[in-house]
Structure 1
Amino acid sequence: MSVLTSYRLRLQRKRWRIRAWRKRRELVPVADRTAQIAPDDILLFCTFRNEAVRLPYFIDYYRKLGINHFVMVDNASDDGGREFAEAQPDVSLWTARAGYGNARYGIDWLTWLQGKYAHGHWALTVDVDEFFVYPFCDTRPVRALADWLDASDVRSFGAMQLDMYPKGPVSQTTYTAGQNPFEIANWFDASNYIMTRNNRLRNLWIQGGPRARVFFAGKPKAAPALNKVPFVKWQRNYTYVSSTHMILPRGLNLVYDQSGGEKTSGLLLHAKFINLFQDRAAQEAARGQHYGAGREYQTYASQHDRDPDLWCKWSEQYINWRQLEVLGLMSKGNWA
């Protein structure tokens, strides 16, 4: 990397940290329990809006995985989701009524909170429809993964987003609060992924899966990115670049083996495609607060009447993480 490029990236990181410092004024504390955070706690960071139905299972899933404290931002929910999160004893909650898009899609708010509370902690940053799966997650808590990464002198952990979907039209699923979404959306694409390398930031750019196959079939390069770096040993000078797709300093994006081997990796099972999907797509397309003024959601909403069936004859039914490793979607690397 040239000296000029290095300087520009450092300047960009500094500028975004200053931006997050300014955006802190948009955050209003609702339930600040951060005094409970112990020095070695593993933290989860998340923004949400109108997710009352999803939040019960989300919180329960990550508690069982070993998350010690949740640091969350509610973006003006009016469905009871804020009240549910506020009542949880291990959740620190802020609310923000400002525009999600104007806060770099919530990243400005989280950058401020991560810099203030996550320094020196392993921090997992996810959406409420993403569920972290890593090698041995059925028998080892996330603390075991963090300890192994610390012992290996690794500061970040990659996880591709894996879209899960039902067999049949999405609208015909019925999801209730507290339910495991993968009881009804338990199919995925085992292949159909492309990867390119972003030499400037060193991350892999991954696209494909059912969204590329169905919604972006005629323009696959416009399909959503699936590469993420959600689990990081946080330092206060870090910042995400675009959601959790990329991060600075750019060395944290090297979550893959450049020599052709395999680094330990995981997946984020993505529970977007259940019966909540179509109404949410229409709402977010109208709000225009997501990336590209909601372009992705506009694509979804344009197919609202079609009620897409994402299942195809090449779909695989989900069993466990070992199946995903056999299929080459994740790897335990040298973690025995």
Structure 2
Amino acid sequence: MQANPSPSAIALSRLKAKPVVNTDVVLTSCVQNEALRLPWFLNYYRRLGIDRFLIVDHESNDATASFLDSQEDVLRFCASGSYSDSMHGIDWTNSVTSTYSPNCWVLTVDADEFLVYPNCEELQIRALASYLESRSATAMRAPLLDMYQEGALNNVRYEPGDDILAAFPYFDHVGYETETYENFDYIVQGGPRQRVFWDNAELPYPPPHLMKIPFVKWNRRFRYTHSTHKIFGRTVGEISGLLLHFKFTPQFYKRVSQEVERAEHFDGAREYKAYRAALERDPELLVIQNGSKRFENSRQLVELGLMRQPSDFMTNATDSLQQAETSHVPEFAEEAAGYFEPDFSGKQWREFEHFDEAWKARIGQMSNFIKHGASVLDLGCGPMWLKDIRPDLQYAGVDYCRRSDDSLIADFNRGEFPQTKSSYAFLSGILEYVQDVPWFIERVCTTSEVCILSYCLRGTHPDISARRQLGWVNDLTLNEIENLFAAHSFLLVAEDMTATRNKILVFARDDAKEQRLPAVVPSGEDAFPKSELERINQRKWVLGHAKKWGVGAELGVFRGHFSQLLARTALPKKLFLVDLWTKQGEWFDLGEIPVTNYNKLTTRQAMEDAMRRLEPFKRVFDIEFREETSLEFLDGLARNGTTLDYSYVDTCHQYDQILAELHGIDRVLAPHGVILGDNWHPSKHAAFHGVYRAVQEFCRNKDYQIVACGPALQWCVQRRLKY
């Protein structure tokens, strides 16, 4: 096929495929030799809600063609000729899109690009499209975010079909620049490719341009130029996404050499020449650095400021999703769901019961939340692997049939539930099979103090047809599960994710909920300004640097709002909560400010409120309150030989005090520990500039380095690595 082909020149490989309909959300891509990435690529976008795939195959000589032809929701188009003359494939995809999906929402991506957008775990891409249309927008921006592994580029590990997000979880969250450039809307540059291949190379050309506009409500008058960096005729929405970019696969070395030889990419493949030069200088090149972030979810990317989420998005997008689910059934939904095997549609668990040894990893991960020697009710226990993994527990297994001489029998879908009470209820992969979820959770909350469950949320496993094929009978979101437990005074105290994207949720009884302070500031909640509560959630990103299941401390607790977030996110093995509280007197010496209810809040009220707020967390984590100065606390740790994996500093924010605390933490910090904190104000005119000044001086004098700072006034430092 020549550049700028007419529709009649396109070779259609699946002549019997059903036509694309206007209500479909379509993905278009141009590929060559992508058999490694395509299995996970297609499955990922199916889960996101893509109905049809239009794939232009440019002279692949691996298994790409045969694999694509075996997929019922894929139309494969054969392209031949010069990739460079086709504007690097964009003329081919423009032609295919205009011919076969002229009035559809179309996502145009490369095989190494995976779209994320705000709350994509819960909302399918059709809801995003509906939201954009409701705002009179016809396109969405999504810059590239390069993802990478820990190891050297010549030792990358990845197998076809593996979860690519789990294999390449790291990214740079700082180091990007935005500017206008020639005829572009604006461009974004930076990230690991610039850092590793450009910054010290003195190359005569700029690093890669990261901004793309991949999601468009197509019209025949539209056309991309310069890949998907630029498109004429569109109206871009306020919301933005990201394209997670997986360039550094095991094929990277080979592809760099091939592309330099082919010289078909932009300007004679100059980008690939930069890669090759760097790899020749250092074959064991590392991309990871101090400050690299590990991917968690879309919310993390919003909080880091890498994606934009309008304030009305969740409300309107959720409404759009509900409407879409009731009014639209994708024409190819039945066939597209076929990648889930086997088909258990309409059957109950007892009809196809099977147990996968791989589930032991999930059970082991969940068991970390159970205290030593505790009593546990393992609901849907199966082979009772939890009992083998944790022999210290007072264990009782429950299932619809007898699993051992001492197991209990109860069929939850027949309204049966054991009367046995325990400290913990353990639900590993069973909630999906429960028909009456509200009744079941009510029984769980009645018989236990803590519930540990794993669940495949509708956001991460959105295909309803596929869920039914697996025998699942419900489709819950995280908010729905939280509300069901909240109705019985259970609070979400911890969350984690398995390697297979099963959400682990831990709920604990919150008996002290009604005893906490009432709302006494009209504009706030719990006598706390609403703006400060919102900022607490924005501070979450920095906790990604804290070691999970480590020993940590928070210096400056006040009423414990941030302490809850710290425990829920860092999952501490031991957490010290340190504040002066009543030792500083009856009242806070902070002046007439809203956080102290204009000096009506006593120090004792704040301390008792923090203790009540953390009470449900203490059912899961080892949390110790220390009413003393931070320096007294740190001196005590040093005398006892106790080390910290992390410490969060949020005390008086004055230079002298912060500097003394930093030196105190240094004495007890583990070798790879981190110090985190609040109120990063570089301006010397800011009220709390002393924090910034103290951290900078400390890093200069103690061989520490700043690994993160900025968003929501947060900062993080650690000892400088030695090479």
Measured against the shorter chain, the TM-score band is 0.7 to 0.9
Distance in structure 1 (CA, Å) of the matches to 2:82 and 2:150: 36
- Residue 174 of structure 1, CA deviation: 1.2
- Letter paired with 2:299: R
- Paired residue for 1:278, among 253, 258, 263? 253
Can you list the C-alpha shifts for 1:171-225, whole angstroms capped at 9, x where unaligned? 2221111011221211111111111113634x11111001111111134961011
- Paired residue for 2:28, among 42, 45, 58? 45
TM-score of the superposition, structure 1-length normalised? 0.87
Q: Which residue in the other structure is 1:320 paired with?
A: 297
Distance in structure 1 (CA, Å) of the matches to 2:270 and 2:16: 37
Distance in structure 2 (CA, Å) of the matches to 1:25 and 1:37: 17
Alignment of 1:78-89 (within 5 A): 78-89=61-72
- Letter paired with 1:121: C
- Letter paired with 1:108: D
Alignment of 1:98-117 (within 5 A): 98-117=81-100
Alignment of 1:103-142 (within 5 A): 103-142=86-125
- Residue 165 of structure 1, CA deviation: 0.8
- Paired residue for 1:207, among 176, 179, 189? 189
- Letter paired with 2:251: L
Q: Say if 2:243 is the partner of 1:291.
A: no
- Letter paired with 1:65: L
Distance in structure 2 (CA, Å) of the matches to 1:21 and 1:79: 25
- Residue 32 of structure 1, CA deviation: 4.1
Can you list the C-alpha shifts for 1:144-178, whole angstroms capped at 9, x where unaligned? 10111111211000101000011120222211110
Structure 2 CA distance for partners of 1:158 and 1:123, relative to 1, 3 Å = same
The answer to whether the 8 Å contact 2:57/2:77 transfers is yes
Structure 2 CA distance for partners of 1:125 and 1:134, relative to 1, 3 Å = same
- Letter paired with 1:31: R
- Residue 28 of structure 1, CA deviation: 2.0
- Residue 27 of structure 1, CA deviation: 3.3
> Superposition RMSD on alpha carbons, in Å?
1.8
The answer to whether the 8 Å contact 1:34/1:117 transfers is no
Task: Give the SS at the match of 2:45.
Answer: helix
Task: Give the SS at the match of 2:126.
Answer: helix
Task: Give the SS at the match of 1:31.
Answer: coil
Structure 2 CA distance for partners of 1:289 and 1:26, relative to 1, 3 Å = farther
Can you list the C-alpha shifts for 1:278-315, whole angstroms capped at 9, x where unaligned? 11111111111111111111111223342321111121
Structure 2 CA distance for partners of 1:174 and 1:105, relative to 1, 3 Å = same
Q: Say if 2:200 is the partner of 1:223.
A: no
Where does structure 2 lack aligned partners over 5 or more consecutive residues? 315-723
- Letter paired with 2:36: V
Structure 2 CA distance for partners of 1:279 and 1:25, relative to 1, 3 Å = farther
Structure 2 CA distance for partners of 1:210 and 1:28, relative to 1, 3 Å = same
TM-score of the superposition, structure 2-length normalised? 0.41
Distance in structure 2 (CA, Å) of the matches to 1:157 and 1:200: 18
Distance in structure 1 (CA, Å) of the matches to 2:62 and 2:45: 22
- Residue 132 of structure 1, CA deviation: 0.4
Q: Which residue in the other structure is 1:3 paired with?
A: none
- Paired residue for 2:131, among 148, 151, 158? 148
Q: Say if 2:225 is the partner of 1:241.
A: yes
- Residue 86 of structure 1, CA deviation: 1.2
Task: Give the SS at the match of 2:12.
Answer: strand
- Letter paired with 1:241: T
- Letter paired with 1:210: P
Structure 2 CA distance for partners of 1:36 and 1:211, relative to 1, 3 Å = same
Task: Give the SS at the match of 2:103.
Answer: coil
Alignment of 1:321-336 (within 5 A): 321-334=298-311, 335-336=313-314
Q: Which has the higher contact order (CA 8 A, sep 6+)?
A: 1
Structure 2 CA distance for partners of 1:323 and 1:113, relative to 1, 3 Å = same
Can you list the C-alpha shifts for 1:237-292, whole angstroms capped at 9, x where unaligned? 1000110001112x54x45xxxxxxx211000001112221111111111111111
Distance in structure 1 (CA, Å) of the matches to 2:10 and 2:288: 41
Can you list the C-alpha shifts for 1:115-147, whole angstroms capped at 9, x where unaligned? 112211100000000000001100111011011
Q: Which residue in the other structure is 2:155 paired with?
A: 172
Distance in structure 1 (CA, Å) of the matches to 2:138 and 2:272: 33
- Letter paired with 1:237: R
Distance in structure 1 (CA, Å) of the matches to 2:92 and 2:9: 8
The answer to whether the 8 Å contact 2:20/2:101 transfers is no
Distance in structure 2 (CA, Å) of the matches to 1:32 and 1:281: 35
Distance in structure 1 (CA, Å) of the matches to 2:119 and 2:205: 33
Task: Give the SS at the match of 1:35.
Answer: coil
Q: Which residue in the other structure is 2:524 paired with?
A: none
- Letter paired with 2:43: D
Can you list the C-alpha shifts for 1:36-78, whole angstroms capped at 9, x where unaligned? 3222000000000001111100011011110000001101001
The answer to whether the 8 Å contact 1:26/1:96 transfers is no
Q: Which has the larger radius of gyration?
A: 2
Distance in structure 1 (CA, Å) of the matches to 2:146 and 2:160: 20
Distance in structure 2 (CA, Å) of the matches to 1:54 and 1:331: 28
Task: Give the SS at the match of 1:132.
Answer: strand
Distance in structure 1 (CA, Å) of the matches to 2:10 and 2:270: 26
Task: Give the SS at the match of 2:188.
Answer: strand
Task: Give the SS at the match of 2:77.
Answer: strand
Structure 2 CA distance for partners of 1:125 and 1:32, relative to 1, 3 Å = farther
Structure 2 CA distance for partners of 1:108 and 1:41, relative to 1, 3 Å = same
Distance in structure 2 (CA, Å) of the matches to 1:229 and 1:170: 29
Distance in structure 2 (CA, Å) of the matches to 1:148 and 1:181: 28
Q: How many residues align?
A: 308
Larger mean Cα displacement after TM superposition, 189-198 or 155-164: 189-198
Q: Which residue in the other structure is 1:182 paired with?
A: 165
Can you list the C-alpha shifts for 1:71-130, whole angstroms capped at 9, x where unaligned? 011010011101101111000111112111111100111111111122111000000000
The answer to whether the 8 Å contact 1:33/1:92 transfers is no
Distance in structure 1 (CA, Å) of the matches to 2:122 and 2:272: 37
Distance in structure 1 (CA, Å) of the matches to 2:219 and 2:286: 43
- Residue 331 of structure 1, CA deviation: 1.5
- Letter paired with 1:309: L
Distance in structure 2 (CA, Å) of the matches to 1:90 and 1:39: 15
Distance in structure 1 (CA, Å) of the matches to 2:268 and 2:12: 28
Distance in structure 2 (CA, Å) of the matches to 1:157 and 1:66: 17
Distance in structure 2 (CA, Å) of the matches to 1:309 and 1:181: 19
